[in-house]
Structure 1
Amino acid sequence: MNEFYPLNKTYVFKKDGSSGYNYFSPVSMYFREQMWSEDEMYDILKEVAETSFRYYTQ
């Protein structure tokens, strides 16, 4: 699903690769066995939202 990109990392900058046909679009996927707490998920989603906002409003 995420090619060779690691899990549990935030990806906002969607294009990776230098040619017109050889690029990847990693997504932010967080997985683990134990349940996530609300605070953990809040922190992760806050980071995604803030990074997206900064990137797309430049």
Structure 2
Amino acid sequence: MTVTKIHVATRYTGAVGAWVQLWSDADRARARALRSVVTDLVNTRPGATYVLKRISGLGQ
């Protein structure tokens, strides 16, 4: 049998712990993807201007 993350998590923390572990892994992947998109946005002049206006409250 191949041991996967779900097997290890279930063995140590039960079914709820396994669900939380898988959810956390997916959440980290989404965070990395979002960071990449925001980085690409801020690295352009119009994108940086947009972000600055939104943060400062001028872009309402």
Q: TM-score, with normalisation over the residues of structure 1?
A: 0.37
User: Which of the pair has more CA radius of gyration?
Assistant: 2
TM-score, with structure 2 as normaliser = 0.36
Identify the structure with bigger relative contact order (alpha carbons < 8 Å, sequence gap 6+): 1
